[in-house]
């Protein structure tokens, strides 16, 4: 019998965990006909509610469930990655605990995997999210397709079933890496299915604007050289324009042409260039910080207990 490992990162999801487990139980009944079973790993990412208590109730109902409790909140990607250390299945996937990605889609993914696909994804055709989240997502995926992976699904994806051959690449990846993008970037041909993401019914999203912004930075700085090439191009362009301006000013002085007073122009030019330099240093600093974060040996996550 083949095993499908499901990793569920949990953060303030006490209301959805029992319904999620019930749905996963029904899923296992369906895939049993395919000679498959589920391995369930829940990772509590420092939840401040009763999520852990709900997880322990689930373990009482099913003793082989693994529960990993982190010492504090480290983030969704970090919690997802730590789950990779505890799985032993023939294929694996991450599943949102808020039920926005329906567990009922798992059997169709397992069917495709059994047919020979190493990478099966459910791309989003739409999402029942607030307008600002849709707007941010649209801009993010538009940039992603142009700067990183041209054939990335337009609406993105979260639900993916991967063969165990992908496991070491994801488990051993560095910090500050968008693992969802990494699994697509690896190059395995995806079997693409489509669905519409559910509206959130349980709890409140903890995916704040600052976390979205960090994800965008980690994505574009971690997978694309465009930002560093861009600031190089801007630097060369400004230098060229400055050289032309200097030559014109010298020519005016050589031929005795007196230019108009230029103090406001000079101030505007200097402040613009200083601002440009600060932005460039900020982008370079983001790259340098990521290098420092990789080599200083601070753990990516800290595990408190394993149940």
Q: Could you list the mean pLDDT of each consecutive 10-residue stretch along the chain, which spans 307 residues?
A: 95 91 94 94 92 93 94 88 94 90 92 94 74 74 82 84 94 80 88 78 60 72 72 75 72 65 65 76 78 76 91
Residues 47 and 193 in one domain: yes
Residue 84 included in any domain: yes
Residues 233 and 195 in one domain: no
Residues 151 and 255 in one domain: no
Residues 256 and 138 in one domain: no
Residue 78 — φ and ψ, nearest 5°? -65, -40
Residues 89 and 232 in one domain: no
**Structural domain span for residue 272:** 226-295
Helix axes 209-223 and 131-147, enclosed angle (nearest 10): 10
Residues 134 and 273 in one domain: no
- Closest alpha carbon to 113 in 88, 93, 87, 91: 91
Q: Residue 30's pLDDT is what?
A: 95
One-character DSSP codes across 281-294: HHHHHHHHHHHHHH
Q: Residue 85's pLDDT is what?
A: 93
- Closest alpha carbon to 146 in 138, 135, 158: 138
Q: Residue 258's pLDDT is what?
A: 60
Q: C-alpha distances in angstroms, 181 versus 90, 146, 157?
A: 21, 14, 9
Residue with tokens 């122009």: 265
Residues 152 and 231 in one domain: no
Q: Residue 127's pLDDT is what?
A: 61
Residue 213 included in any domain: no
Tokens, residue 170: 């994801």
Residues 66 and 180 in one domain: yes
Say how far apart CA 275 and CA 64 lie, in whole Å.
Answer: 57
Q: Residue 66's pLDDT is what?
A: 96
Residue 164 included in any domain: yes
Query: Which CATH number characterizes residue 184's domain?
Result: 3.90.550.10
How many structural domains comprise the chain?
2
Residue 184 included in any domain: yes
- Helix or strand holding residue 37 (H, E): strand 36-44
Residues 200 and 104 in one domain: yes
Residue 211 included in any domain: no
- Closest alpha carbon to 36 in 107, 94, 120, 93: 107
Residue 219 included in any domain: no
Tokens, residue 29: 């009944």
Residues 191 and 253 in one domain: no
Say how far apart CA 206 and CA 224 lie, in whole Å.
Answer: 27
Residues 271 and 123 in one domain: no
Residues 251 and 289 in one domain: yes
Residue 270 included in any domain: yes
Residue pair 63/28 in contact by the 8 Å Cβ criterion: no
Residue 209 included in any domain: no
């Amino acid at each position: 019998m083949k095993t499908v490992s499901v990793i569920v990162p949990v953060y303030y999801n006490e209301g959805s965990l029992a319904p999620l487990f019930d749905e996963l139980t029904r899923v296992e009944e369906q895939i049993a006909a395919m000679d498959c079973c589920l391995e369930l790993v829940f990772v509590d990412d420092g939840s401040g509610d009763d999520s852990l208590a709900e997880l322990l109730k689930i373990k009482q109902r099913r003793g082989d469930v693994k529960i990993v409790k982190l010492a504090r909140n480290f983030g969704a990607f970090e919690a997802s990655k730590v789950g990779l250390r505890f799985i032993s299945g023939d294929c694996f996937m991450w599943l949102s605990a808020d039920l926005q990605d329906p567990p009922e889609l798992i059997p169709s993914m397992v069917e495709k995997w059994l047919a020979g696909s190493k990478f099966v994804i459910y791309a989003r055709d739409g999402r029942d999210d607030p307008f600002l989240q849709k707007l941010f997502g649209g801009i993010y995926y538009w940039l992603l397709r142009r700067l990183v992976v041209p054939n990335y699904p337009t609406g993105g994806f979260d639900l993916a079933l991967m063969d165990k051959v992908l496991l070491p690449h994801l488990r051993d990846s560095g910090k500050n890496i968008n693992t969802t993008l990494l699994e697509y970037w690896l190059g395995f041909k995806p079997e693409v299915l489509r669905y519409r993401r559910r509206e959130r019914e349980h709890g409140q999203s903890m995916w704040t604007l600052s976390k979205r912004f960090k994800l965008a930075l980690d994505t574009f700085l971690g997978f694309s050289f465009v930002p560093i090439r861009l600031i190089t191009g801007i630097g060369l362009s400004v230098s060229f324009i400055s050289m032309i301006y200097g030559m014109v000013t010298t020519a005016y002085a050589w031929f005795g042409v007196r230019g108009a007073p230029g103090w406001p122009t000079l101030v505007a030019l200097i402040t613009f260039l200083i601002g440009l330099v600060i932005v460039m240093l900020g982008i370079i600093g983001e790259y340098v910080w990521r290098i420092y974060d990789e080599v200083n040996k601070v753990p990516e996550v800290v595990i408190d207990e394993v149940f």
